[in-house]
Amino acid sequence: MTRGTAAAPGGRRVDSFTHPAFFYHGEAGFLAGVGAFVRGGVENGEPVLVGVPERRERLLRDALGALAREVTWFAPGPSGANPGRALSAFREFVDRYPTRRPRVVGEPVWPGRDAEEVREAMRHEALINLALAGSAACVLCPYDTSSVPTAVLADARRAHPTVLEGREHRPSPWYTGRREPDAPLAEPPAGAISLPYDEEGLGSVRAVAERWAREVGLVGERRTDLVLAIAEATTNSVRHGGGAGVLRLWVEGSRVRAETRDAGRLADPLAGSNRPDPFSASGGRGLWMINRLCDLVQMRSLPDGLVIRMTMALEPPGVPPPPRRG
């Protein structure tokens, strides 16, 4: 990616990637900071992508007026998009403008996100620094101090190299530059279905998964999407995870879970966050598709192998449309 020269919200020129956190209070604070950031980008002729909850998007559109048509909007959805899908959208948008100065707004935490979603969102906040390093993008991450838990605000300060105060970027004294190491996920309940598989058993395991998803009430395209994600994950095990693995299936409240475990390793923490080259021999399609298909994806590279946990809500959460202009 070609490095350019980007304009900071206060008018200062920078020649590298910036990733500030913006701590605001309520709707007025949101409009004062995020509104100025977005308006400044549009007026400077810079590409702008905004991914915020629906209520915040309406506020911002009303404040921008006709300028809203110049913005690309990415809708997280009422129950929260998979953070891996949002990171992929941000990367694709920035890569589209290798000689430009893209601005991105991504609000990772809002009322209604549960602890599990928030944890994944904050893991991906740290990954943004790695994913867009070397670009000229500025990715602004707003946090509402009136609703976001104190512990999450502390995590945000550690994940962002700078903080936006007024119209100036200031170095964050809390920034660590470190990513949280992968830790095991909570074990599935005792009643979870466990299905070992290898290359010869892929077809039968997928058939069992499809019947199970139908029986537990996952319907239509959502059932098809989960089964396709399971197919990609199990194939990934056979090709890259030692030739075999174990699929576990269970229902947890209003969510359906499917998890693969194998002997593989995930050397690239950004695997699955960028659209793969269809002509590349190195692969990457499977993890990218899993992120696109599921409501939540948790990948953990542990000493004993790779875990991919895929979650779908039994009640459709309103899967977000692709980014759109205007």
- 175 plus 305 within the same structural domain: no
Instruction: Flag whether pLDDT at 192 surpasses 80.
Output: yes
Instruction: Flag whether pLDDT at 206 surpasses 90.
Output: yes
The number of domains in the chain is 2
Average pLDDT over residues 136-142: 96
- Comparing C-alpha atoms, which of 270, 18, 34 is closest to residue 161? 18
Both structure tokens of 255: 């969510």
Which pLDDT belongs to residue 8? Answer: 45
Rg (CA), the chain: 20
**pTM for the predicted model, two decimal places:** 0.87
- 172 plus 200 within the same structural domain: no
- 105 plus 57 within the same structural domain: yes
160 to each of 114, 121, 259, 316, how far by Cα in Å? 22, 13, 31, 32
Residue 240, domain member (yes or no): yes
Domain containing 205 equals 193-313
Q: Which DSSP letter does residue 180 get?
A: P
Lowest mean pLDDT among 107-116, 179-188, 281-290: 281-290
Both structure tokens of 139: 């990715």
At 231 the three-state DSSP class reads helix
- Comparing C-alpha atoms, which of 262, 272, 240 is closest to residue 120? 272
Which pLDDT belongs to residue 3? Answer: 37
Instruction: Flag whether pLDDT at 145 surpasses 80.
Output: yes
- 211 plus 127 within the same structural domain: no
Which pLDDT belongs to residue 317? Answer: 55
- 116 plus 10 within the same structural domain: yes
Contact between residue 276 and residue 285 where contact means Cβ atoms under 8 Å apart: yes
**What CATH number did the domain enclosing 65 receive?**
3.40.50.300
